[in-house]
């Protein structure tokens, strides 16, 4: 653990996390206005910022960005502490767990696409599991699972590709340090 | 994280596809809603029991109580007060249209698909 | 433009709730009654009838069906068994009112079917063990006894109905003629009962006597859907929607039978050979009248995959489905158009019937 910092000493990392989280909320709100085949089913492009945080600053930063987005989003939407919030949070936590796990893969680890796919599938799976266990333990719900997970897979690839493009752009500008996702956590 | 495609990406994509494929294979999703066991007694009473919940039901008739069992999405006569027990020997029913009857006791059970139910079965 | 964001979770809940609402069975104004009569379970389904009318309807149906059952029982003491005794002894038998009409119709249908439906073979049916309350069992009767019966040519064609001052008398010169109207009576009884219900003003109904049924009307604009059971597998082979007032009758080798040394012996005896007809698993006939559908299904079963078309032509049938022993499904074009198969059978043959 780093030495305790003065309460108001905001690091550059903090600023980056906050900026990314805010960007995530904006993308999420913009996406909410898009038409979609099933209500509420969106590509989840806001997760690009989580991936960016993961790539730039490591897993803990990504966790902050993700959870901040869930929190800010629910406060803005007025769904804080509702079942919606619970599901949103479950998905986010599951995705973060997946991101942590894939970072443990040997070699260079996954690129943005692989990480996004893992996170997206975990997100949808986590939401579904909580919805099934806590709210609707009806077998008819299970019929939805293949459709939802297929969608999550596609969305993961899409989000990953966007993140990949973004990271390459950053790299060209010399802003992207090439490091593994968990290096930021090694103290 | 490298701003590129890596071997791990390939692995994760393959795993993702395998997972989704497995889900489609196991639960195609268009099989339709769950089934019911439609039980009718001699006095005309009917009982609709969803097959997704294990249960045991007693249905009374002129000879006594017939015992039905629902387990793992199937239904059968477990016992019945008739002499020949043809209903019990009929075994497990699980597909819509399948039926068994204890004629002496006036108890019938038929598997019915929700949403695609037939008003009568001809045989 | 910023809208209130809807997290996937809320939408998931909403979607699932909507799906559940669609899945839950909605209560419909359908009235069900069930009786044990005619040796089988009979179901009466009425659409949108008030309690009082439904009860009267059920009582009427029960009365009609019981009446037929008690008058025409083939082995318990009944007017029919007494008639058979008289026929065996060569004596004339005075018929109760209403019996002549049934016998004339049976005889007419038998002639139309070319003798393949023949209620005069009661002696053969008894010989094979199908005239009993006990489940039928082997061993099958010796060939010699079958031939002995056949040689005397028992057939309803030999039944004489003589109208006289005291009513109609029945007589026969063929002592082996024994009447068993089982292949036709359910149809007749269902017709009588349904006509009573129509007279009572009830139009939207299904009367299902142990699987053979007549239905009319519909359920509030939606047609009645009838599932036809697969003769071999579990579940439903195909279904159809009732149009107007129709009877759907099926004869199958699975209704009454026994297995002996690996061979199935069922109750649909071929009057020509004296043995259970081979080659067919089931025949389904749709016709406005149950009596015709019932007799026709039997006759077509006996005719088999080779001969059914000729019999259908003679009996003026347009809607027939025959499932052959090899699994091929034969259909008339009119039947094929309205039949909806649960899973398409391996072989389907659509054959035009006659001119």
Q: Please list every residue in chain B whose beta carbon sits closer than 8 Å to the beta carbon of residue A114.
A: 6, 8-13
Domain C223-355 sits in CATH at 3.10.520.10
Q: Is the pLDDT of residue B72 over 70?
A: yes
- What's the pLDDT score for residue B49? 81
**Alpha helix segments (H runs only) across chain A:** 12-32, 47-57, 59-77, 83-102, 112-130, 139-142, 145-172
Instruction: Give residue C25's pLDDT.
Output: 41
Domain limits, chain B: 35-113
Q: For residue C225, give the nearest of B41, B84, B119 by CB distance.
A: B119
Region of B120 please: left (phi>0), alpha (psi -120 to 50) or beta: beta
pLDDT in tens, A79-109: 788 877 888 888 899 999 999 998 888 877 8
Q: Are B102 and B91 contacting, i.e. CB atoms less than 8 angstroms apart?
A: no
Residues of chain A with pLDDT under 70: 1-9, 32-42, 136-141, 143, 175-187
Q: Which residues of B touch A115 (CB under 8 A)?
A: 1, 12
The fold for domain B35-113 equals mini-chromosome maintenance (MCM) complex, domain 2 (2.60.320)
Of A108, A140, A167, the CB nearest to B33: A140
Tens digit of pLDDT for each residue in C130-140? 998 877 888 99
pLDDT at residue A58, rounded to an integer? 86
**C8-18 average pLDDT score:** 56
Chain B residue with Cα closest to A124: B20
- Confidence (pLDDT) at A185: 42
Q: Which pLDDT does position C22 carry in this prediction?
A: 43
Residue B29's pLDDT is: 41
pLDDT of residue A70: 87
**Is B50 or A68 the better-scoring residue by pLDDT?**
A68
Q: B1 and A167 in contact by Cβ < 8 A?
A: yes
- Per residue, the 3-state secondary structure of chain B, as one string, reads CCCCCCHHHHHHHHHHHHHHHHHHHHCCCCCCCCEEEEEECCCCCEEEEECCCCEEEEEEECCEEEEEEEECCEEEEEECCCCCCHHHHCCCECCCCCEEEECCCCEEEEEEECCCCCCEEEC
B98: pLDDT strictly greater than 70: yes
Contact yes or no for C7 and A40 at CB 8 A: yes
In Å, how far is A130's CA from the nearest CA of chain C?
10
Query: Which of residues C52 and C166 earns the better pLDDT score?
Result: C52
With a cut of 70, say whether residue C278 has pLDDT above it: yes
Residue A168 and residue B3: Cβ atoms within 8 Å? yes
- pLDDT at residue B32 greater than cutoff 50: no
Nearest residue in A to C17, CA atom: A136
Comma-separated ranges of CATH 3.10.520.10 domains in chain C: 223-355
Residues 6+ apart with CB under 8 A from A77: A84, C4, C5, C6, C7
Q: Which residues of A touch B113 (CB under 8 A)?
A: none
Which positions in chain A touch C17 (Cβ < 8 Å)?
Answer: 136
How does residue B113 score in pLDDT terms, banded at 50, 70 and 90? Answer: low
Is residue C48 over pLDDT 70?
yes
Distances in Å between the alpha carbon of C14 and those of B32, C6, C222? 19, 11, 29
Q: Which of B34, B47, B35, B36 lies closest to B107 in space, CA to CA? A: B47
User: How many contacts (CB atoms, under 8 Å) link A and C?
Assistant: 93
At A158-168, the pLDDT tens digits run 999 999 998 88
Write out pLDDT tens, residues C279-292: 999 999 999 999 99
Fold adopted by A12-185: Arp2/3 complex 21 kDa subunit ARPC3 (1.10.1760)
Of B93, B116, B88, whose CA–CA distance to B104 is shortest?
B88
Check: CB of residue B91 under 8 Å from CB of residue B107.
no
C75-172 belongs to CATH 1.10.3980.10: yes
Strand pairing partners for C30?
A: C47
Task: Return the C-alpha torsion angle B43, B49, B51, B56, nearest 10.
Answer: -70
C-beta atoms of B3 and A171 within 8 A = yes
Report yes or no: B54 at the A interface, CB cutoff 8 Å. Answer: no
Interface test with B, best of C32, C42, C236 (most B CBs within 10 A): C236
Contacts of B104 (CB under 8 A, 6+ apart): B61, B62, B63, B81, B82, B83
- Residue-wise pLDDT tens digits, C181-204: 999 999 999 999 999 999 999 999
Closest CB to A28: pick one of C5, C20, C23.
Answer: C5
Per-residue pLDDT at C315? 96
Prediction pTM value: 0.60
Residue C22: closest CA among chain A residues belongs to which residue? A140
Query: Which residues of C touch chain A, with CB atoms under 8 Å apart?
Result: 1-17, 19-20, 23
- Chain C nearest-CA distance from B83, in A, is 11
């Amino acid at each position: 653990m780093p030495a305790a910092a003065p309460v108001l000493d905001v690091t550059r990392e903090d600023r980056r996390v906050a900026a990314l989280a805010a960007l995530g909320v904006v993308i999420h709100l913009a996406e909410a206005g898009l038409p979609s085949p099933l209500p509420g089913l969106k590509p989840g492009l806001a997760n690009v910022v989580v991936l960016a945080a993961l790539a730039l600053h490591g897993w803990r930063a990504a966790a902050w960005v993700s959870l901040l987005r869930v929190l800010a989003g629910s406060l803005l939407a007025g769904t804080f502490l509702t079942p919606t919030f619970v599901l949103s949070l479950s998905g986010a936590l599951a995705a973060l767990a997946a991101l942590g796990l894939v970072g443990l893969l040997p070699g260079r680890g996954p690129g943005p696409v692989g990480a996004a796919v893992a996170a997206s599938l975990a997100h949808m799976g986590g939401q579904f599991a909580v919805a099934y266990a806590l709210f609707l333990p009806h077998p008819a719900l299970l019929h939805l699972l293949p459709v939802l997970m297929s969608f999550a897979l596609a969305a993961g690839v899409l989000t990953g590709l966007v993140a990949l493009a973004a990271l390459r752009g950053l790299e060209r500008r010399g802003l992207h340090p090439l490091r593994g996702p968990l290096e930021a956590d090694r103290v | 994280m490298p701003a590129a495609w890596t071997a791990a990406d390939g692995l994760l994509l393959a795993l993702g596809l395998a997972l989704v494929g497995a889900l489609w294979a196991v639960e195609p999703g268009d099989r339709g809603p769950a089934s019911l066991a439609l039980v009718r007694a001699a006095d005309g009473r009917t009982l609709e029991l969803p097959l997704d919940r294990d249960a045991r039901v007693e249905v009374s008739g002129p000879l006594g109580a017939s015992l039905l069992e629902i387990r793992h999405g199937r239904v059968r006569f477990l016992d019945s007060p008739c002499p020949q027990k043809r209903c019990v020997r009929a075994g497990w029913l699980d597909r819509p249209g399948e039926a068994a009857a204890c004629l002496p006791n006036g108890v019938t059970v038929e598997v019915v698909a929700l949403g695609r139910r037939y008003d009568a079965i001809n045989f | 433009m910023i809208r209130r964001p809807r997290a996937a979770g809320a939408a998931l809940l909403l979607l699932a709730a909507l799906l559940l609402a669609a899945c839950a069975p909605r209560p419909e104004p359908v009235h069900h009654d069930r009786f044990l009569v005619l040796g089988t379970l009979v179901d009466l389904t009425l659409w949108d009838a008030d309690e009082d009318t439904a009860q009267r309807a059920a009582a009427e149906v029960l009365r009609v069906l019981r009446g037929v059952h008690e008058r025409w029982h083939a082995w318990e003491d009944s007017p029919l068994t007494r008639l058979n005794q008289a026929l065996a002894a060569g004596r004339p038998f005075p018929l109760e009112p209403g019996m002549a009409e049934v016998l004339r119709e049976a005889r007419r249908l038998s002639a139309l079917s070319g003798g393949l439906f023949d209620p005069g073979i009661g002696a053969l049916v008894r010989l094979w063990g199908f005239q009993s309350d006990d489940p039928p069992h082997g061993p099958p009767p010796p060939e010699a006894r079958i031939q002995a019966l056949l040689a005397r040519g028992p057939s309803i064609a030999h039944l004489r109905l003589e109208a006289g001052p005291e009513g109609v008398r029945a007589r026969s010169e063929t002592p082996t003629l024994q009447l068993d109207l089982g292949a036709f009576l359910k149809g007749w009884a269902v017709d009588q009962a349904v006509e009573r219900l129509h007279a009572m003003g009830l139009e939207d109904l299904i009367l299902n006597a142990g699987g053979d049924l007549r239905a009319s009307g519909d359920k509030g604009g939606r047609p009645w859907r009838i599932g036809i059971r697969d003769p071999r597998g579990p579940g439903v082979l195909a279904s159809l929607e009732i149009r107007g007032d129709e009877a759907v009758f099926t004869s199958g080798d699975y209704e009454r039978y026994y297995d002996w040394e690996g061979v199935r012996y069922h109750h649909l005896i071929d009057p020509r050979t004296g043995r259970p007809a081979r080659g067919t698993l089931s025949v389904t006939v749709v016709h406005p009248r149950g009596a015709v559908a019932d007799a026709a299904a039997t006759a077509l079963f006996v005719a088999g995959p080779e001969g059914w078309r000729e019999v259908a032509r003679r009996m003026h049938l347009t809607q027939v489905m025959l499932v052959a022993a090899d699994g091929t499904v034969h259909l008339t074009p009119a039947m094929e158009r309205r039949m909806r198969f649960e899973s398409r059978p391996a072989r389907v043959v659509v054959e035009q019937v006659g001119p």
